[in-house]
Amino acid sequence: MDYKFTTKCIYGDNTNNTCENTGAISFPIYQTATFAHPGLGSSTGYDYSRLQNPTREQLENVVCSLENGFDALAFSSGMAAITALMELFHPGDHVISGNDLYGGSIRLFNHINRKNQITFDFIDTSKDDIEKHITPSTKAIFIETPTNPMMNVTDIRKVASIARKHGLLFIVDNTFLSPYFQNPLDLGADVVVHSGTKFMGGHNDTLAGFIVVNSKELSEKLRFIFKTVGSGLAPFDSWLILRGIKTLAIRLERQQQNAFAIVQWLLTNEKVKNVYYPGLPDHPGYEISKLQSSGFGSMLTFEVESADLARHILGSVKLIRFAESLGGVETLITYPITQTHADVSDEDREKNGITETILRISVGIEDISDLINDLAQAF
C-alpha cells in the first residue's frame, strides 16, 4: 500500500515487520553484538551488528521510505555518513562542491579528503556556472540546499541535468529541510545525505547520519564500505531516531510556523540589517524553493548592526539557548564564525558573508510569544 508521509514516519512502507513477531508497538532495541546461527549453512538473516541489526534495519527502512530511495544506511553521525560516502572516490578524482556548506563538511574535504589526493572546487552552486568547473577527472557534485548558514538555494533539477549530461554522481545534503519538505532523489539526485542528529531525531539527544541512494549499484558499493569501516548506528541510537521520526511531520509544521513569525518580527527590528530565509518573497531562491520544496523550513539567519550587539544577544537570551546543532524541539541560536564554521578560513567566511554580525537560529516548537519576548529582551 502507498502510505502518506505522516504514516510512513511511523511504519515506513511495511506495517508487518518480519523481524518483530511479539506484537510490540514500539520496535524493540536489539542490544546485541552478535547473532547465533541455527546450524552450519543456515542463518536468521543476522550475523553481527556491525553488518546488520534489526533495530537499525527498521530505521533504515523508514528513512528510505521517506526519501523514496532504493536503500538507506544509518551511520553514527552525519559526518560519519559523509566520510563513508567519500570512500567512493579515488586519488586524482575531482569533486565540485558548494562553497557555503556546514563547516564540518568543508573541514573533511580540505583536511582528510585532500590528503587522500581528492581535489575540490568550491563554488556558489546557486548561481555559478557549474559546467565551467567540470574537468575530465570530475566525478561528483556535492551541494547543500538551503545552505548552512546563508540559506542559498540551488536548483536541484538543473544540477541533476548537468550531472546526468556529464556522467557525474550528484549528492545533496538535505539536512536543513528533511524529507518532509524536500526529496532530492525525486528531483534527480543520486545520493541524499542527512545529519540525522537534527530534524530526524528532533530532540537533541543523540547523533546519527544517513545516506540514501537511488540504485542497487550504489547500495552495494556503500554497503561494502559500511561494513568495512564500521561506523553503523548503534541499536539504542537507532531506536531514539525511530522514535523521533514518528513526530517529524508535526514538528516541522510547528517549527516552520514559528520561523515565519520570528522572521516577520526580525524584519521590523531596526537593529537587524538583513534576514536570510527562503520563505521571503524577495529571497533569490524563493521561486526555486516553491518548485522543488513543499516548505521553507525552520532555519533562518540574520545580520545585526554590530558585532557587539551579536555578542550581547548571545549572552542575553534566556529561553533560547546559545548552542550548536539544529532541528530539535528547542530553539537554538548559533554564532557561525566561532562555532559551526570556526575551521573555515577567514577569507572564505568573508566571501560567503559569514561575519561577526551573523547569527543563525534553529526554531523549535515553543510558544511563539515566548520566543519573540525572549528575542526582544535579548536585543
Q: Tell me the residue type at 150.
A: M
Burial status of residue 73 (CB atoms within 10 A of its CB: 0-12, 13-18, 19 or more):
buried
Catalytic residue among 102, 276, 277, 335: 102
Q: Which of 80, 147, 136, 94 is nearest to 354 (CA)?
A: 147
Residue 346 known to be catalytic:
no
Ordered alpha helix ranges (H), 67-204 = 78-85, 103-108, 156-166, 178-181
Catalytic residue among 3, 11, 13, 50: 50
Catalytic residue among 8, 56, 139, 198: 198
Catalytic residue among 173, 190, 237, 374: 173
User: Can the peptide bond before residue 146 be classed as cis, meaning omega within 30 degrees of 0?
Assistant: yes
Per-residue buried b or exposed e for 218-257, using 16+ beta carbons within 10 Å of the residue's own CB: bbeebeebbeeeebbbbbebbbbbbbbbbbbbebbbbbbe
Three-state DSSP at 178 gives helix
Cα 14 from chain centre:
24
Strands 209-213 and 71-75: antiparallel
Residue 102 known to be catalytic:
yes
In contact, 193 and 85? CB cutoff 8 Å: yes
Number of Cβ within 10 Å of residue 183's Cβ equals 24
In contact, 267 and 310? CB cutoff 8 Å: no
Residue 180 known to be catalytic:
no
Site of grid cell 569501516: 229
Residue 50 known to be catalytic:
yes
Axis crossing angle, helix 368-378 with helix 248-267, rounded to the nearest 10: 40
Strands 94-98 and 138-144: parallel
Axis crossing angle, helix 54-66 with helix 235-245, rounded to the nearest 10: 30
In contact, 155 and 306? CB cutoff 8 Å: no
Strands 119-123 and 94-98: parallel
Catalytic residues: 50, 102, 173, 198
